[in-house]
């Protein structure tokens, strides 16, 4: 049976939404990611290690003026979470975009994200 609950992934998504207006919030990624975690967004190459993950998010959010995620997290088992999300944002030059998808997340024995992988997504820009 699956259940939806507050998890490390919920803290992660809240943190990255904050990072658009508070870039220093990215320094808190160590509270949600394991030191040797891996992040992979779609076809982009995987990013491994907390320092590289932090830099990846710093670059990813550097052109955004605003961002908001809406999501549902389902705990599949003790180590595996599935997140259905919709994200919308406005870039610094005023363009609007959105993205939806599914993230599969594996957590370690300490409850930190070991692997975060976006499996499917759709994006629409204007």
Q: Are strands 96-107 and 33-41 parallel, antiparallel or unpaired?
A: unpaired
Q: In what order do the strands lie in the sheet with 33-41?
A: 3-4, 64-75, 80-91, 96-107, 113-125, 33-41, 47-48
**pLDDT tens readout for residues 61-103:** 999 999 999 999 999 998 999 999 999 999 999 999 999 999 9
Supply the CATH number for residue 28's domain.
Answer: 3.10.450.50
Q: Read off the pTM.
A: 0.87
User: Which residue's structure tokens are 């160590």?
Assistant: 30
Total domain count, the chain? 1
Sequence-ordered alpha helix ranges (H) in 1-126: 8-19, 50-61
The domain in which residue 63 lies consists of 3-125
């Amino acid at each position: 049976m699956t259940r939806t609950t507050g998890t490390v992934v919920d803290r992660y998504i809240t943190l990255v939404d904050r990072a658009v207006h508070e870039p220093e919030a990215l320094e808190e990624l160590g509270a949600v990611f394991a030191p040797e975690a891996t992040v992979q967004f779609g076809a982009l190459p995987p990013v491994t290690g907390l320092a590289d993950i932090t830099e990846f998010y710093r670059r990813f959010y550097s052109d955004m003026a605003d961002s908001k995620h809406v999501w549902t997290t389902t705990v599949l088992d003790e180590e595996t979470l599935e997140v259905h999300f919709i994200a919308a944002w406005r870039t610094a030059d005023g363009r609007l975009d959105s993205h939806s998808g599914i993230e599969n997340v594996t957590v370690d024995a300490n409850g930190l994200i070991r692997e975060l992988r976006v499996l499917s997504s759709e994006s629409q820009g204007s």
